[in-house]
A = this chain, B = another copy of it.
Amino acid sequence: MESAIPPHLQTTRSRHKRVPDDYQPPYPSFVARYKPNVDRVVMAYFGVQYRGAVPLAATEALAEIDRRLVAADAPSHRDRAHYVDQAGYANEVSVAYWDDVARFDAWFEPAREAWTGTRREGIGTFIEVLRPAVARHETLFSSLGRPEGVAVIADGMSGEVQEHAYWGGMRDRIPLSQTDAMAPGGNPELVRDGARLRVVAHDNLCLIRSGQDWSDTEASERKLYLDDVEPVLREGMDFLRDDGLAIGCYVNRYMRVLGADGSISEKSYGQSWWRSLAALERWAESHPTHVRIFGAAMKYLSTLGPSAKLRLYHEVTVAAADEQFFEYLNCHPKTGMLAAVETVTA
C-alpha cells in the first residue's frame, strides 16, 4: 500500500486527509506516476463543431490538426472523441497530452492560429487547455495494463494506493490538498478578440475526465454495464449538461472515444469543467445518479476485484488561473466555457 501522493510531492501538512493512516480500501486502485523531473503536464482539447452532415471544412480541419499532432514537438499522446451537445451540434474533440511545457509552447502558437485564428465555413472551433503543476493533479485507475488519457504519458503506474474508495479520496490524492483548500476565486469573464472569444476563468477551476472502457467485458458483465450502469451514468451526465450550472458545473461532455479510423469504440468519457473541486465533490456525493454509480462500482469492484473486465479511470486537475486557456471561434453561445459567462452576442 502506498500513498497516491508520490514521495517527492509529500509535504508537511496543514490540512489532514480524510481517513486515518491505517485505512484499508476495500479493493485495489492505482494512479499514474510521472518521472520526478516532470513538474507540469499539458492537456489540450481541440474541438470542431457543426450541425447536420459533416461539412467539408470539418473534415479538412480534422485532417489538419491530425497532421500537426504528429509534427515537431507533437504531444506524447492523443485521442479523439465525439458527442452531440445540448444544442444539437456534433462536436469532435481531439485531446493531446504533453509532459514538457516548452515543447507544448513551441508547438502551440501556429496550431492555435490555424485552429481558432481563421474562420471556416459551416464549423466552429475551440481550444481548451490546462497546463497544471503536477501537484494540482491526480489520476485513478481501477486496473493496470491499459493507461488512458494523461496516464499514457506517465512513466508508469503505482502499486495499490490508499486514498480511494471513500468520499474525499479525490481531494486527498491531489498533492496540493496537503496545504491548500483550493477555493475558487472570481468568476469567468469573456474577452472578445475580433471573432475569437476567450474565457478567462478563475483560480482553482476544476477539470475532470472520467472514463469507462467496456471493450473487454463479456456476457453477463457486459450486459450489467450496458443495461444497468451505463443508463444511470448517462442520466447523471445529462443532468450535468442541462442543469449543471446551478451546482457549479460549467460544462459537461459525455463523449464516445473514436478509433484511429474514426470508428466508434467501446470507450467513453465524461469531460466536465467545474467552478471548484468542492462543487464536484458535492455533486458526486449527493446526486442520486452518481451515488448509485459509486455504490454500484464499490460493490462491483469489491466483489470482482482485479478480475473485473470493466475499466474505469479518471484524471482531475484544479488549475491556477494562469494555467488555463479557453478560446472559441464561430461556436454557438453555449459551447464549453462560453456557457459560464454572461450572454454572448455575436
Chain A residues within CB distance 8 Å of chain B: 15-16, 18-20, 23, 26, 165-168, 181, 183, 276, 278, 282, 285-286, 288, 291-292, 294-295, 298-299
Contact = CB atoms under 8 A, between A and B. Distances in A.
A20 B183 contact: yes
B288 A295 contact: yes
Contacts of A183: 20
Given A20-B181, A168-B167, A168-B168, A288 B299 contact: yes
15 contacts: A15-B16, A16-B16, A20-B183, A20-B276, A23-B282, A165-B286, A166-B282, A166-B285, A167-B167, A167-B168, A168-B168, A288-B295, A288-B298, A291-B291, A291-B295
Given A291-B291, A292-B295, A168 B15 contact: no
Q: How many copies does the complex hold?
A: 2
A165 B283 CA distance: 12
Query: Which of A26, A291, A292 neighbours the largest number of chain B CB atoms within 10 Å of its CB?
Result: A291
B286 A168 contact: no
The 7 closest A-B pairs by CB, nearest first: A167-B167, A291-B295, A20-B278, A15-B16, A167-B285, A288-B295, A286-B298
A290 to B, nearest CB: 10
Nearest to A292: B295
Given A165-B286, A166-B285, A19 B278 contact: yes
A165 B281 CA distance: 12
A120 B167 CA distance: 49
Contacts of A299: 288
Contacts of A181: 16, 20
Contacts of A18: 18, 168
Nearest to A19: B278
A15 to B, nearest CB: 5
A20 B16 CA distance: 15
Contacts of A285: 166-167
Contact of A23 (B19, B26, B278, B292): B278
Contacts of A282: 19, 23, 166
Contacts of A165: 286
Contacts of A168: 18, 167-168
Contacts of A291: 291, 294-295
B26 A286 contact: yes
A8 B345 CA distance: 53
Nearest to A167: B167
